[in-house]
Amino acid sequence: MTNHLTKLALLVSLGAGVALAQAYPQEQKPTETQPTAPQTQQQPAPEQTQPQEKMPQGEAAPSTTDVQSNIQAALQKEPTLASSNVQVNVTNKEVELSGTVGSSEEKKTAEQIAKSNAGGRKVKSHIKVSSAAPGAPPK
């Protein structure tokens, strides 16, 4: 009986280890063109000035369909955007948002969600603020 419990505990531990390993991004691979130390020094600057610099890393940049799916899923999960109508269009260089939201706060929330899921692409917002967004209660 203890032999079976030991094997079960070992399997559960291994399964948890594999699940944790898959959850963490594997960005620790050294690249041939850039040493590891300068990458950590340069990371804050591209986010503040030019987010496009992250894209030329080849397979590190997510595909346009992955980015679009991630942004749309995140927008749908946001409760404050439940009554909004936001469309997402992704190209290799940018993410474009269009549609209508009920307030400027909702617009900022949608833009922030898109930026955090854009995969280094520039985000352009064409979202319009309307007090009569589809499904919105009258104020």
pLDDT of residue 13: 72
What pLDDT does 99 receive? Answer: 94
Note the pLDDT of residue 96.
94
Q: In angstroms, rounded to a whole number, what is the distance separating the alpha carbons of residues 105 and 81? A: 10
Nearest to 86 by CA among 100, 67, 74: 100
What local confidence, expressed as pLDDT, does residue 40 receive? 44
Are the CB atoms for 135 and 116 separated by under 8 Å?
A: no
Query: To 5 degrees, how large is the angle CA 71–CA 76–CA 80?
Result: 115
Q: How far apart are CA 86 and CA 100, in angstroms?
A: 6
How far, in Å, CA of 77 to CA of 18, rounded?
27
pLDDT of residue 59: 54
- Closest by CA to 88, choosing from 64, 104, 109, 108, is 64
The answer to whether 110 and 127 are in contact (CB under 8 A) is yes
Query: Each residue's pLDDT tens digit in the chain (139 positions)?
Result: 777 777 777 677 766 666 666 655 555 555 555 455 444 444 444 444 444 444 444 556 678 889 999 999 999 999 998 888 999 999 889 999 999 999 999 999 999 999 999 988 999 999 999 876 455 455 4
The domains found in the chain, sorted by start residue, are: 61-139 (3.30.1340.30)
